Amino acid sequence: MLAYVVRRFLLAILTIWAISVLSFVVIHLTPGDYVTSYIASMSASGSMVSEADAAALRAQYGLDQPIYVQYVRWMGLISQGNFGMAMEWNRPVMEVIGDRLALTIVISLAAIVFTWAVALPIGIYSAVRQYSIGDYIFTFIGFIGLATPGFMLALVVMYIGFTYFNANVGGLFSPEYNDAPWTMEKVWNLIQHLPVPAVVLGLAGTAQMIRIMRANLLDELRKPYVVTARAKGLSEMRAILKYPVRVALNPFASTIGYLLPYVVSGSIIVSLVLSLPTVGPLLLKALIAQDMFLAGTIILMLGTLTVVGTFLSDLLLMWIDPRIRLEGK
Amino acid sequence: MAESLVPDSELLADEITTTAAEERISVATQWQLMWWRFRKHTLAMIGAVVIGFFYLIVIFADFLAYSDPSASEAQRGLLPPQPIQWMDEGRFDPYVYAVTGRRDPVTFKRVYAPDPDRKIRIRFFAPGFEYKFLGLFRTNIHLLGVESGKAEDSLFILGTDLQGRDLWSRLMYATQTSLTIGLVSVAISLFLGVLLGGLSGFYGGIWDTVIQRIIEILRSIPTIPLWMGLAAALPQEWDIVAVYFAITIIISLIGWTELARVVRGRFLSLREEDFVMAAELAGCSRMRIIFRHMVPSFLSHIIAATTLALPAMIISETSLSFLGLGLRPPAISWGVLLQQAQNVQSLAISPWLLAPVFPVIISILAFNFVGDGLRDAADPYGI
């Protein structure tokens, strides 16, 4: 058991390191650097940046050093909790990101909670009442959900909300709470705005979960122990919920690991459509402006959070499934 | 007993038909068995027909479009779809009414009104803009055209976009781009997946450990931020073709993991099979064992996995282009078309800009159904 945890933990560390390198390299693939695009935007607005100023800027941000030196410097700064400056904003990266990272997590978690809450009962229903009308309807909706990319669903939801209900379904807060400090009212306002993004983000995953749950449970229901349970006179409810559902639930828990990167990914692009204050729109802007510290930090943090979430879900799985616990012994 | 009531002759006939059917099954080739099984999967069959239909559009995009996809005209921007009148005076003679546009003095929006006195006749196989059919010969025949004048100025089945370009024609070209970009990325993924999955499954040991860790790492990274980073790194001055291939490579860099997993699993289970052992004892070379004995027995699984991987590729391209980081105008793809539908205001005024959503959803559904059917059929000897 301990070996399993250690193995998972080491893998998580390795993954985070790989993500840090990847995100750093990605930013450096871009021809030119921040100063190049800064000069371009300055000359577009009519003012000139001299060669000396450009060199000074490069030296200030360490852009004139070889790439591995820049990476080591970046890592060194991060280990001190300093994520560098967001050049375009001229403010520390963490300050620019602010609440956005937390909101990304909140939205992703809400989507996963939605996925679970919907997929579990529907999956059980579809398996127990296989080939019923309900099963077919849910299968159909599931397929549509699977085939619709989140941002398209967001577009359609926005359109319907706008034309039929004359309401803007985007955003996470009512306008008056946008810049307000955190209070109970603001939290409540956030919760009220959560359902739309959660459903939009969670639908594809939900469709997948329903299919997994249905297939797993169907396999279990055919096993002799279920027949035995029925023969012994257990009520139908108990015969299904007590053992088969519990066994079918295991792969369910393990898919969180796959679901999380997927949902976080989706939240980036859905946020742009629904204008949610997550890191998504910020990342897009930073990438376009080649603001490498900001973009790199966002990719790194998203990746790290996902890995940590996956690690926690592995631990959860171990807690639920004794077979994995015993494997390591 | 109930059985004794059935006349003997009928029992006999029944027996003969079963043996005939069994005989047919036992002499059928693996591919025949798979086809029989696939045929039973109704949704997969429907999906296959739909996909066939989509690829016809890919091949005949120039012919199906009736307007030059880049012909823009600000005077007819955001023109709503024209309803086609199929019958005229009791005869089949499709036409649309000519549209006159003017600017609303209050809202400054362009408003369009059909002119009931001017009918524009639609003609089939009519001449239009010139193109090179399949890159072979020049022609100017299109499925649809108008009787007199240019289609660019008068026919808008699905309306126009902000720059006044005909949406129907653009949709045809977008289908061509989006569906081929998926194929190219899936081909690259397939190559990487078979190579690395094969190495991992056949040799095992250190290869397996390293490749499996790489797969696990890649799978736990949220893909869209990474893709965005990679796509943003593409130089702005690259031309359409270069960006097209760069995007396919970026998408397949992460897409190969699932295919590698399938190939590895197959290799692991086949390695222990008797026929592989027999081939090895008979002195076959490694390459011969792999390509002559192992690959044919899991080829069907790979085909199924490839079909299931395609929708993800299409979604990736569409998402990236939608963000403005994938294909860039003047390239036309579903994602590029949807970029115009990004804000609610323009959607509310001109909902037809959402039209590309339908081909995306339908093609993805069809690929999923076919993939499911293939996966079920891939192992025709199972139950």
d(CA B77, CA B74): 5
pLDDT beyond 80 at A302: yes
From chain A, pick out residues whose CB is under 8 angstroms from the CB of B224: 265-266, 268-269
What's the whole-model pTM score? Answer: 0.81
Residue contact B348–A299, C-beta within 8 A: no
Q: How far is CA A323 from CA A225, A319, B349, in A?
A: 18, 10, 58
pLDDT beyond 60 at A80: yes
B359 vs A: CB within 8 A: no
| 3-state SS class at A63 | coil
d(CA A201, CA A23): 24
Task: Quote the percentage of chain B above a pLDDT of 90.
Answer: 6
Residue contact A147–B322, C-beta within 8 A: no
pLDDT beyond 50 at B226: yes
d(CA A140, CA A144): 6
From chain B, pick out residues whose CB is under 8 angstroms from the CB of A22: 221, 226
pLDDT at position B363 = 92
d(CA A68, CA A158): 45
**Residue-wise pLDDT tens digits, B152-188:** 777 888 888 888 788 888 999 999 988 988 888 888 9
B318 vs A: CB within 8 A: yes
Q: Count chain A–chain B contacts defined by CB atoms under 8 A.
A: 129
Task: Quote the percentage of chain A above a pLDDT of 70.
Answer: 88
Interstrand relation of B110-133 and A91-92 (parallel, antiparallel or unpaired): unpaired
Element (H, E) at B240: helix B240-271
- Give the minimum alpha-carbon distance from B228 to chain A in angstroms, rounded to a whole number: 8
pLDDT beyond 80 at A257: no
pLDDT tier at B55, thresholds 50, 70, 90: very high
**Residue-wise pLDDT tens digits, B195-216:** 888 888 878 788 888 888 888 8
pLDDT at position B292 = 84
10 Å Cβ neighbour count for A10?
A: 11
Per-residue tokens: B118:
């001017």
Mean of all residue pLDDT scores within chain B: 81
**Residue-wise pLDDT tens digits, B234-265:** 777 788 778 888 888 888 887 888 888 888 88
* A202: CB partners within 8 A, 6+ apart: A110, A111, A112, A114, A115, A118, A263
Residue contact B229–A284, C-beta within 8 A: no
A182 vs B: CB within 8 A: no
| 3-state SS class at B34 | helix
**Least trusted range by pLDDT, from A26-30, B116-120, B259-263, B289-293:** A26-30
From chain B, pick out residues whose CB is under 8 angstroms from the CB of A262: 222
Residue contact B221–A159, C-beta within 8 A: no
pLDDT at position B381 = 65
- Give the minimum alpha-carbon distance from B76 to chain A in angstroms, rounded to a whole number: 23
pLDDT beyond 70 at B10: no
pLDDT at position B4 = 46
**Residue-wise pLDDT tens digits, B335-379:** 888 888 877 777 777 888 888 889 999 999 898 888 888 877 777
* B233: CB partners within 8 A, 6+ apart: A26, A27, A29, A30, A31
pLDDT beyond 80 at A283: yes
As a whole number, mean pLDDT of residues B112-130 equals 80
B229 vs A: CB within 8 A: yes
Beta-bridged to residue B92, according to DSSP, are B87
Max CA separation in chain A (angstroms): 88
Q: Residue written as tokens 């097209």?
A: B244
Q: Tell me whether the omega of the peptide bond preceding residue B81 falls within 30 degrees of 0, making it cis.
A: no
Sort A94 into a burial class: Cβ within 10 Å, 0-12 / 13-18 / 19+. Answer: middle
Instruction: Name which of B43, B47, B45 is nearest B55 in CA terms.
Output: B47
B361 vs A: CB within 8 A: yes
Q: How far is CA B371 from CA B9, B48, B241, B365, in A?
A: 44, 9, 29, 10
From chain B, pick out residues whose CB is under 8 angstroms from the CB of A264: 222
B33 vs A: CB within 8 A: no
Most confident of A173-182, A194-203, A286-295, B138-147: A194-203
Mean of all residue pLDDT scores within chain A: 80
pLDDT at position B50 = 93
Residue contact B232–A288, C-beta within 8 A: yes
Element (H, E) at B43: helix B42-59
pLDDT at position B383 = 47
**Residue-wise pLDDT tens digits, A271-282:** 888 888 888 888
Interface of A with B in 81-100 (CB under 8 A): none
Residue environment code for A313-323, b if the CB has 16+ CB neighbours within 10 A, otherwise e: bbeebbeebee
Most confident of A117-121, A180-184, A301-305, B147-151: A117-121
Interface pTM, i.e. ipTM: 0.78
d(CA A12, CA A2): 15
From chain A, pick out residues whose CB is under 8 angstroms from the CB of B219: 258, 261
Q: CB–CB of B197/B264 below 8 Å?
A: yes
From chain A, pick out residues whose CB is under 8 angstroms from the CB of B333: none
* A244: CB partners within 8 A, 6+ apart: A217, A220, A221, A223, A226
d(CA A122, CA A214): 8
Substitution target in B43, B210, B217, B338 with the highest count of A β-carbons within 10 Å is: B217
